[in-house]
Each structure stands twice: as structure tokens, then as C-alpha cells.
Amino acid sequence: GTLNIGSRPAKRNPKGGIESLRAIPWTFAWTQTRTHLSAWLGVADALNVDGADLEGLQDMYKNWPWFREIIDLVAMVLSKTDFSISQNYDDQLVDKTEELTSLGKEVRERLVNTRKSVLKVTESTDVAGPHVALLRASSKIRNPYVDPINIIQAEILKRFRASSDEVEKEILQDALRVSIGGISQGLRNSG
């Protein structure tokens, strides 16, 4: 891309489509939109069981430290997702075709199902798990500052895509770089 914020090109093949995108920019993009897709996609499919299988996973969560840590890390990432921020990026930037609209809806439905699956396995009422106190305190301080940056970033991207004025595009690129840094710093990670 033209922002050049990574140490490597965003794509393995500059002329390729999404299939040639490297993992780091893919994850980075989902982090910036507060969806964190690559950290939880597929987890609900693995945990969505009932009866003896669910009891087995609950027992593993209680008695297997490695399994508990994985589930707690997924729960921590889930607690950093923000449904409304993610929806705003879709509303501002995604073409209003049935295919793309339904894809965004499906991603958010899968997010909800992943949260429910994690809660079933952990037998908890809060997806943040053991990290909840620290995350809540941290989010309470940071989110009022980071949320508006996400909203502004979506608007910057929308204006950048619509602009044909090269001077305006340069200004918007600079603003986009600042918003990327602000979100990364505010979330305390880049993906």
C-alpha cells in the first residue's frame, strides 16, 4: 500500500488480491477495526458442544493450565472487541451489496457465538475471564479517547477513497497514519 507503515510489503504479490495479503497487515487491519477476527474465528466451532463433550471442556478448563490459558487469552481478546466500532467501519466503508453486508453481519454473529461458547466452557458470566478487573479499569480510562479515533479513522478512509485531489489525499494519508498510531497506542497493541 501507499502508507508504507510495515517492514515488508503488505502483499506477497503486489498485483494479487486478498489471497496475497500477508498475515501481519491482515491481523493489523482487524485489530484497528476492533474486530480481532484472526484471534477468535473458528473458536466457537471448536467449543460449540453439549452434554458430555461440554463437561469435558469445562473439566479441561478447570484442570488443564495450558487449555485454561488458551481459553483465557481468547476471552481477553474477545473483551477487546467492540461491536459498534466494527459496525461503524462497515457502515462507512463497505459497499452496500447484499454479499458484503451479509458478510459483515455473519462476522458479528460469529463473534457473539464465540463469546457465548467461551462463557459456556468457562462457566462464567463475563467474557473477560480472570483479566476482567484490569481490563475494565484500563478500558474505562482508554476507550473514551480511542473510540473517537476509530470513528475519525473510518471517516478519513471514506474521504480518502472518494478523493481525486492528490493534495487532499496526502493530507488524509498523514491523518490516517496518526489515527493508526493513536489506535495502536490506545489499545496498547497493534495486532
- Tell me, what's the pLDDT at 133? 66
pLDDT of residue 26: 82
Confidence of residue 86 (pLDDT cuts 50, 70, 90): very high
82 close to 36: Cβ distance less than 8 angstroms: no
Q: Count Cβ atoms below 10 Å from residue 81 Cβ, excluding itself.
A: 22
Nearest to 35 by CA among 92, 82, 100: 82
Contact 110, 150 (CB under 8 A): no
pTM for this entry: 0.82
Q: Give the model confidence (pLDDT) of 95-121 as tens digits.
A: 999 999 999 999 999 999 999 999 999
CA atoms within 13 A on the CB side of 141: 8
185 pLDDT above the threshold of 60 = yes
- Report how far residue 3's alpha carbon sits from residue 186's, in angstroms, rounded to the nearest whole number: 20
For 37-83, the pLDDT digits (tens) are: 999 999 999 999 999 999 999 999 999 999 999 999 899 889 889 98
Residue 83, all three cell numbers: 461491536
Angle, CA of 46, 49 and 52, to the nearest 5°: 125
Question: Smallest Cα–Cα separation from 48: which of 127, 118, 111, 107?
Answer: 118
Q: What is the pLDDT of residue 107?
A: 94
Of residues 134 and 37, more confidently modeled = 37
Q: 42's torsion region: left (phi>0), alpha (psi -120 to 50) or beta?
A: left
Spatial distance between the Cα atoms of 155 and 158, rounded to a whole number of angstroms: 5
pLDDT the model gives residue 46 = 95
Query: For residue 98, what are the CA distances in angstroms to 85, 102, 111, 162, 177?
Result: 21, 6, 20, 21, 31
Residue whose entry in the numeric block shows the C-alpha cell 462497515: 90
Higher pLDDT, 141 or 160: 160
Q: What is the pLDDT of residues 5-26, one digit of tens each?
A: 766 777 777 777 777 877 888 8
User: pLDDT band at 174, cuts 50/70/90?
Assistant: very high
Mean pLDDT of the region 24-35: 87
Segment 38-50, tens digit of pLDDT: 999 999 999 999 9
